[in-house]
Amino acid sequence: MYKRQSKDIAVQIAGREVFKLAFKAAGPVLLEPIYTYTISVPEEYMGDVLSDLNTRRAQVLGMDQANGRSIVTALVPLAEMQRYVSDLRSITQGRGLFSMEFASYQNVPGHLADQIVAAAQREAEEK
């Protein structure tokens, strides 16, 4: 009886190609971490803080006031808040505070996902 054995490299190549086809057929999406930010600032800076949040793809959940301070709660992608400590300090002359807590993962918007994929492909081609 003749027993046919596949070469190890052939199995690896076949497995890689099957994975690529299955991955594309599954309709993959990029996810990004979303955090709940609670930002407390003196009332006179609330407009500037809200304007800044709008540029960061924030979804404002609510606003409140306590002890002469305005408090805003918002969902914001972590990628948009990398330099927020210094930006908030600048906006509020050092008088703003914030806390953050992980909320969920959400799909990256299509136009941003396309940019991320294109950058990753360029990087892979350079290597």
- Residue ranges and CATH numbers for the domains of the chain are 31-110 (3.30.70.240)
Number of residues assigned to the chain:
127
Task: Tell me, rounded to whole angstroms, the distance of Cα 88 from its chain centroid.
Answer: 19
pLDDT score, position 27: 85
Alpha-carbon distance 96 to 75, whole Å? 18
List per-block mean pLDDT (blocks of 10 residues) for the chain, which spans 127 residues. Answer: 67 89 88 97 95 96 94 96 94 96 95 90 88
Alpha-carbon distance 42 to 20, whole Å? 53
Alpha-carbon distance 32 to 108, whole Å? 6
**pTM of this structure:** 0.77
pLDDT score, position 33: 97
Please state the three-class secondary structure of 7-31 as a single string.
CHHHHHHHHHHHHHHHHHHCCCCCE
Would you state the torsion angle of the CA atoms of residues 44, 48, 50, 51, taken in this order, to the nearest 10 degrees? 160
